[in-house]
Structure 1
Amino acid sequence: MERAERGLVPLDQEVLVLEGEVVASIRALAARGVGSKRIAATLGVARNTVKRYLRTAVPAGVQVRPQARCLSEAARAEARRLYEGVAEGNAVVAHRLLAEQGVAVSVRTVERAVRDLRRARRVAEVATVRVETAPGEQLQVDFGQKRVEIAGTAVRLHLLVAVLSYSRRIFVKAFLHERQDEWREGLAAAFQHFGGVTRTVLGDNARALVSGRDVATSTVHFHPADLAFCRDWDVQPRACAPYRARTKGKTESGVKYVKRNALAGLTFASLETHLATWMALADQRIHGTTHEAPAVRFSRDEQPALRPLPLRALPRREQRVRRRVAADALVDIDTVRYSVPHPLVREHVEVAIGDDTVRIYHGGQLVATHRRSFGPHTCVIDPAHWAGLWRTTVSTRQEAVVAAPLASLGRSLQDYAVLIGGPA
């Protein structure tokens, strides 16, 4: 009665399986120290069967199964309700919630009870309804990672891929990281590349964009800095539903297309130059869905529908970080090392990173200004910062990428002068 109240129904408990001499052989071999795996192989029986006979005092010829269980109708209905509700399609969570109600069954039992619901969820996740947007309405954006060889060096890049949803024109920009700054810089570059601004931008749930989501109200909370950026550009941000990346299928396909078509198996002297050439070619290809070249659809329908770029330069939102000056009077920013006056060795400085410029402050005073470099593992040096350390004097101030040996890799820094953007 107690078992029925808890939603459990006992099934048959005994099944005749092994002859007495086999059971005796199992026990005899075990007594000689033979392991269960070896016994099972020797006697031609399942290893779990051997373990069960050794674990329990079972009479010869009878195997006692662990009591098989199934859910009563009431417990099954509760399992399905939990699975579709608070468990959010997770059978393990539904199993835990059932256990809290006193229903002690295995996870597998719960999985059987919700099997049809699981299948329906899988179908819903795969099935896609294609949604076409109006010209100038939406830009889909996503990041992908790819390890490529640039100037003889293997580099892992983060590729921002932006696709105009109507025309399918594509824009690609390479970064060393995937942070808020890279998202905003990439979006601004995409709008400038297309010569106009869409009404909405659709991204995923990347932590660099989304700070949280209210499931009950389907409300997405974006980071304040990202919202400020969107206000500057007068564009509405959107985020696809969690685990529904197919919502932005055009850019999902675009990321794969870039990785497989633009980069796979290729090496570059300058990735920036290569991507510019590749994007121009991609705009001329016949798209498999629209059966038109993206450039044709863009010039005919989408370009007139884009809103104009801002008439005046938008305020820059510089990134500021603190760094300690190394013994060689260099400060490391995103694998690029910038020089400061050598008396500041071991001092802490504040670095303001702009779109094109890196400014370094000490005690509130500007001590160094450099052009921003996007070549990984390079050094940007103002020779005047090392004045007094050299035997020869520096007559004129010039800023350059120094070609000193990189001891850890055994090659000159000139080899790394420009990996993404080409020669300086």
Structure 2
Amino acid sequence: MNVLHPNKKASIITLLANGVSQREIKRKVRVDRKTIRKYARIAEKNDQAGVSVSKSPGVATGSGERVEQNPPPRPPAQETSVSITELPDDAYPIPAHARSACEEYRPWIEEQVRLGRNAVSIYQDLVERFAFEHKYNSVKRFCRALRRKNPTQYDRLEFGPGEEAQVDYGLGALTRKPDTNTYRRPRLFVMTLKYSRRCFRKVVWTSSQVVWAKLHEEAFRYFGGTTRYVVLDNLKEGVIKPDLYEPELNPVYASVLAHYGVVADPARVADPDRKGSVENAIQHTQDTALKGRRFESIEEQNRWLMHWEERWASLRIHGRMKRQVQEMFEEEKPFLQALPLRSFSYFTQETRT
């Protein structure tokens, strides 16, 4: 059983009697604040009972003088029929030694915080208007507690298997450009199945209407089927004119989707949350698979991305669904639309004068 050293006990009793804060006592004596609170309660009870406690406890001499000792451990609490939630709010009042020095000015401080004022200006007004005698840190901590906000909540969209896929570009790892000694970051294409979170990843040096469309085709072939619709950003390779109801797609991209029976659903401008699954997939790929790596060729990076997907990403347990990604993909695969027998025949669109 740990017993507090007599000189530390005397220091705590002395500092409490002199009105020193518990934070300052902890810093000076290097004792846990739970121990300080225990002696503060003992001192408060002795003050109420009119018992004086020696500030320099020593060794008992047998003269009958009562020496304060650490009480034995408490026995286990007995079960009662009253739950804590049924007790009134004032059943556990905040002790005087734990109450903030700003508590009596709470209404005024809350009003100032709502006005957007910082803790420094509030402290200065407290000193000038209310003769506040405590330190600035008390005001800073009090204002910080008042400014605590609940985390922003988002609506979670659930989709059935084979219903939606999301696509977007990111940046890959540093890769050596062909026939040079220069390293650059290629563009990272990711398609994510919304239901299972299974992904197709590939890096390319440049992008165009045809490259963008071919990447979709490769992803559909990789998954062994297509979803009903695909959610994309309003990038020029896919969308010529963004519109919420009638977006204008690039002819090549629109033809490829029609060939595979997929409908494009461009997200609203500046609304990345609509395609949050692929945004998270890109971040996961950059942070886990590619960070700190360099590749000598773009083919090497693509081989690594395919290996990482099969070996690690698809076998992971999804954080929110608490299920394996590959297991959910096996459930989703029968719901994917069948692929056409022939690949798409690409064309180029030109304007002649």
Give TM-score scaled by structure 2 length.
Answer: 0.51
Find the aligned partners of 1:283 and 1:308 in 2 and give their Cα distance: 22
For 1:2-401, list aligned pairs within 5 A: 127-150=153-176, 153-214=182-243, 218-269=245-296, 270-280=300-310, 281-299=312-330, 301-317=331-347
SS in 1 for 2:304: helix
**Contiguous gaps of at least 5 residues in structure 1:** 1-122, 321-424
Identity of paired residues, percent?
31
Find the aligned partners of 1:226 and 1:276 in 2 and give their Cα distance: 25
- Structure with the greater relative contact order (CA < 8 A, sep ≥ 6): 1 or 2? 2
Structure with bigger gyration radius: 2
CA pair 316-214 structure 1, distance change in 2 beyond 3 A: closer
CA pair 256-212 structure 1, distance change in 2 beyond 3 A: same
Give the partner amino acid of 2:273. R
Q: How far did residue 276 of structure 1 move?
A: 1.1
SS in 2 for 1:219: coil
RMSD of equivalent CA atoms: 2.1
Find the aligned partners of 2:237 and 2:274 in 1 and give their Cα distance: 19
Find the aligned partners of 2:153 and 2:236 in 1 and give their Cα distance: 26
Large movers: runs of 4+ above 2 Å: 149-153, 316-320
Deviations, residues 298-322 of structure 1 (Å, cap 9, x unaligned)? 11x20010011111232233699xx
Give the partner amino acid of 1:285. R
Deviations, residues 159-201 of structure 1 (Å, cap 9, x unaligned)? 1011000000011011112321221111111111111111101
CA pair 310-131 structure 1, distance change in 2 beyond 3 A: same
Give TM-score scaled by structure 1 length.
Answer: 0.43
CA pair 309-292 structure 1, distance change in 2 beyond 3 A: same
Q: How far did residue 249 of structure 1 move?
A: 0.3
Find the aligned partners of 1:150 and 1:293 in 2 and give their Cα distance: 35
SS in 2 for 1:285: coil
Give the partner amino acid of 1:298. F
Find the aligned partners of 1:237 and 1:192 in 2 and give their Cα distance: 18
Report if the CA contact (8 A) 1:150-1:271 is conserved.
no
**Contiguous gaps of at least 5 residues in structure 2:** 1-148
Report if the CA contact (8 A) 1:169-1:295 is conserved.
yes
* Matched residue, 1:91: none
SS in 1 for 2:183: strand
CA pair 317-195 structure 1, distance change in 2 beyond 3 A: same
